[in-house]
Amino acid sequence: MDVLAGLLQGPKARGAFVLKSVFRPPWSLRVEDRAPVSLVTMVRGDAWVLPDRATPVLLKPGDLAVLRGPDPYTVTDDQGTDVRVIVGPDQRCTTVDGIDLTDSMAQGVRTWGEPDAPDAAVMLSGTYQAPGAVGRRLLDALPALLVRTAAGTDDPLIPLLAQEIAREEPGQEVVLDRLLDLLFVGLLRDWLRQPEHGVPAWYQAQSDPTVGPALRLLHDDPARPWTVASLAREVGASRAALARRFSAVVGEPPMAYLAQWRLTLAADLVCRPDTTLTEVARQVGYGSAFALSSAFKRVRGVSPQEYRANGGEPVPAARPASAGTVVLGPPSARPSPCIRAQ
């Protein structure tokens, strides 16, 4: 399994909140739902996306934006329009004075806002629920706002999402989840193939002839008692050469990377109610539950038991200083990405 495939098992939609919004100008929506990641695309009309900590971007129909939470943002017809609606936790919508609009502005199945009209803007949005620690490792590398412009290239997934979003069929939530996943993965792949846009070093390292195979071995078999020497033998390099090259490309030594990867996997595994700490330790390469618990608390600040009791919520951390806005060109020709079902 390549590094991206493993990471994408984390940010996978399960019962994601997907909505079609209809607004007549002037309109402005302030989103404070603290969702870990949200997707926004326009079907009709333009909209400004105004993140609190990134450069504003004008979205045109077919453009796709990913916003990394939990920071709030505003979507509006014009940068000068005052906020009219605030979206809070649990997707409750109110006026700026606190009057609840959640039910009064409902327009049918997964549709909200005002009655449709020729001059109305139509926006599709989807929010992911909390990802696991593995998926969060990928999401934390994202810029605050990532936009892929359509620029005349039609993405068939966006019209399909627009068509499916208002349907009420058996298994409809699963259909919407998978469409959201396909849009998200497609945008991530476009971003990751352009290293000039701040792609993390551990992803770029996959293409290195020495470090790439080493990374795949560590991801595929984290429980193996790896040493730099044994890893070097597997990839056909000397111990010194692998250590030097790995540190230069990834930014940390191989065993430090492995330790972080093991604890990232452990963070997801300890949240499974049917898995004991001893089983987790064995799966990620620790000799005992005590050894895992000590390492886990040293790195994450809480014990595995406390982490599980808290629902897998991470200790708050500062965002990378490089977080900002990245705008990509239209999607390149590529096969549709696949999401492996759980």
pLDDT digits (tens, 9 = 90+) for 101-118: 988 898 888 899 999 888
pLDDT computed for residue 247 by the predictor: 95
pLDDT score, position 210: 94
Query: Mean pLDDT over residues 30-56, rounded?
Result: 92
pLDDT at 153 over 70: no
- On whether the CB atoms of residues 22 and 43 are closer than 8 A, the answer is no
Neighbours of 282 (CB within 10 A): 15
pLDDT at 249 (0 to 100): 92
pLDDT of residue 322: 45
**Tell me, what's the pLDDT at 128?**
79
Q: Provide the pLDDT confidence category of residue 36 given band limits of 50, 70 and 90.
A: confident
Residue 321 has pLDDT above 90, yes or no: no
**pLDDT of 56 higher than 80:** yes
Residue scoring higher pLDDT (227 or 156): 227
Model pLDDT, residue 131 = 59
Residue 184 has pLDDT above 70, yes or no: yes
Question: CA torsion 267→271→274→278, rounded to 10°?
Answer: 30
Predicted pLDDT of residue 50: 95
Write the CB contacts of 245 (distance below 8 Å, at least 6 apart in sequence).
208, 210, 211, 237
* pLDDT, position 342: 26
- Residue 319 above 80 pLDDT? no
248: pLDDT strictly greater than 70: yes
Query: Band of the pLDDT at 335, cuts 50, 70, 90?
Result: very low
Counting residues of the chain whose pLDDT is more than 70, the rounded percentage is: 84
Q: Residue 21: which pLDDT band, with cuts at 50, 70 and 90?
A: very high
Q: Which pair of structure tokens corresponds to residue 292?
A: 């895992």
CA distance 172 to 165: 8
Q: Which amino acid would we find at residue 261? A: W
Mean pLDDT estimate for the chain: 84
* Most confident residue range from 65-69, 119-123, 265-269: 119-123
Q: Please check the confidence at residue 318 and state whether its pLDDT lies above 60.
A: no
Q: Can you give the pLDDT at residue 225?
A: 96
The angle formed by the CA atoms of residues 219, 180 and 166, to the nearest 5 degrees, is 160
pLDDT at 341: 28
Structure tokens, 69: 């939470």
CA distance 59 to 47: 5
What does the alpha-carbon distance between residue 295 and residue 285 come to, in Å, rounded to a whole number? 12
Q: What pLDDT score was predicted for residue 150?
A: 87
pTM: 0.76
Provide Rg for the chain, Cα atoms.
22
The whole-angstrom separation of Cα 328 and Cα 194 is 9
Q: How confident is the model at residue 316 (pLDDT cuts 50, 70, 90)?
A: very low
Rounded average pLDDT over 257-270: 91
- The residues facing 48 across adjacent strands are 58, 76
